[in-house]
A = this chain, B = another copy of it.
């Protein structure tokens, strides 16, 4: 049985793509089942509730040699702990290729589009399979989430075309209203503990010399209500300090992305982080906040800039 799952700290794409890809494989005669590597965020919970889709179970501990399919990620730091022991048979992803290797020829489908959902739609069409209403709604939700409804610079023409195609199949008449409801659900953070907020959309990246990389943790909070986050700045900085020590990080950042205004104010823990933001992005830190302007994509803007900054021959 093929275990299909997205990355740690799952977002809507990570969860829905596991569900949709497992369904596609099952229809193609591959015994496959969707799992998740963590708790859904408020946006994902909203989407599943709205669409009447059951949350896939947490991935159980897999024995060495178990067959897995990765969606929406490929780097070991973002995956299940014993990934190196597992047989990765398939990957569908839209991120840069990291440290993944395989023991035998895999199915890999990577394209530089805004969302795994866009690729999954393509896979259905290439296989000549009809799109079920629920799958259409799941893929649509993932694309709206990953691209912030086309506000993110990661958006491609294929993502827009996919949404145009999927909306009628999904029976979603007002895509703009649906996206805003998703973003409002995501922003309704209530009394979520600060460390949970930090880790909700959080990834660790190795930078610099591959033989001895330094690990940076980068969290993102995409919200239509940034004021809520700034009111909790003290708590969040304490959580960042704790995570930095616990995970042995060289640095930690938390970007607060205002979805509607498309701006990024990043929480800066200390002098190390402030120096890197100054030298890599040319921005000053004031009151432990750095204004990164319209740099709202971790994948396309923040991480590549840090990668160049830390590159050994730079």
Contact = CB atoms under 8 A, between A and B. Distances in A.
A30 to B, nearest CB: 13
A238 interface: no
A108 B108 CA distance: 6
A105 interface: yes
A107 B100 contact: no
Contacts of A299: 105
A145 to B, nearest CB: 17
Contacts of A98: 101
Chain A residues touching B, majority SS: loop
Contacts of A27: none
A1 interface: no
A248 interface: no
Interface string A70-107: 00000000000000000000000111111111111111
A188 B298 CA distance: 56
A311 to B, nearest CB: 9
Interface residues of A, number: 25
A93 B98 CA distance: 17
Given A108-B108, A109-B108, A109-B109, A100 B103 contact: no
A53 to B, nearest CB: 27
A112 B107 contact: yes
A307 interface: yes
A193 interface: no
A191 interface: no
Nearest to A311: B103
Contacts of A94: 105
A96 B96 CA distance: 18
Contacts of A108: 97, 108-110
11 contacts: A96-B102, A96-B106, A97-B101, A97-B108, A103-B307, A104-B112, A104-B300, A104-B304, A105-B110, A105-B111, A108-B108
Shortest 7 CB-CB contacts between residues of A and residues of B:
A108-B110, A105-B112, A97-B102, A108-B108, A96-B102, A126-B126, A96-B105
